[in-house]
Structure 1
Amino acid sequence: MRCIKRQLDGRFDLMGAKPADSIIAARATLSGIYMALAWFDAGEAKKFGESLAQFFLEKIPKASQKGDKEFAKKVDYVLEKMVVQIVQFKAQHKLNTYKKAQLGNVFKWVLLDAGISADYADEMTTWLMKKIG
């Protein structure tokens, strides 16, 4: 068993510790820091949100046809294709709350920047967030 001795200047000294112990401790600390930072790495989620919004915009006819039966069929078809993409992405990536929020935010802003009405963009983003889980 190792003893920890507190020195006068406030530092700690591991008495009887081998150099390998400090290397292992340093690696464990770096691993913990990396894991904490990786939690905030939402780059892949943002790219997916943008690509999903672009897919939606390319496949859906102009919003002026909203309410038309053919428009509704087209939207249903596109949403089914989007669900397939979402399932595949979720299988390959672990999404935490932060990454889900970033994905949804990018998706919504791409729709808004493309001229989709705010109400419809909110509706589509809500649908996406429910599908992501």
Structure 2
Amino acid sequence: MVFKWFDTAEVDAFADATVKMFMERFPPSEFTAAGKKQQERFRKVHAALSREMQAFRKKKTLNIYQKARLANRFKWALKDAAYPDAFIDELAYELAAMTALPA
């Protein structure tokens, strides 16, 4: 029972898939060009991220460790992909907040 609390295989798989989707739809190179097109693309990707998170939360109830693991894994994957630090911190915070909302 206690070990199940630390089971993050499903959370890790979801985080990896979500990061991959995010990076494909909004690559780090999008930060070099500013404009309405990039803003609209980010809004669409953010909305997709919210929908994915909501669907995952309905499927699986996360404990505090799993919520933190999800946000942290997402954050470090974006850091490894060379997204700007301020953007990463804000997005990881939003992701953590999304996990805290009722499903």
TM normalised by structure 1 equals: 0.69
Q: CA–CA distance in 2 between the matches of 1:47 and 1:75?
A: 23
Identity of aligned residues (%): 29
Q: Which residue of 2 aligns with 1:15?
A: none
Q: Aligned partners of 1:72, 1:96: CA distance in 2, in Å?
A: 33
Which structure has more RCO (C-alpha within 8 Å, separation ≥ 6)? 2
CA RMSD of aligned residues (A): 1.2
The question of 1:89 aligning with 2:56 is answered yes
**Superposed displacement of residue 77, structure 1:** 0.7
Please list the CA deviations of residues 66-99 of structure 1 after superposition, one character each: whole Å capped at 9, or x if unmatched.
x422111111111111111111111111100000
The amino acid across from 1:102 in the alignment is R
The gaps in structure 2 that reach 5 residues or longer are: none
Mapped pair 1:64 → 2:32: yes
Q: What amino acid does structure 2 have at the position aligned with 1:122?
A: D
For structure 1, the residue ranges without an aligned partner over 5 or more in a row are: 1-34
Instruction: Give matches, 1:71-110, under 5 Å.
Output: 71-110=38-77
Q: Which residue of 1 aligns with 2:83?
A: 116
- Structure possessing the higher radius of gyration over alpha carbons: 1
Q: Show structure 1 runs of 4+ deviating over 3 A.
A: none
Structure showing the higher helix proportion among its residues: 2
Aligned partners of 1:68 and 1:130: how far apart in 2?
Answer: 27
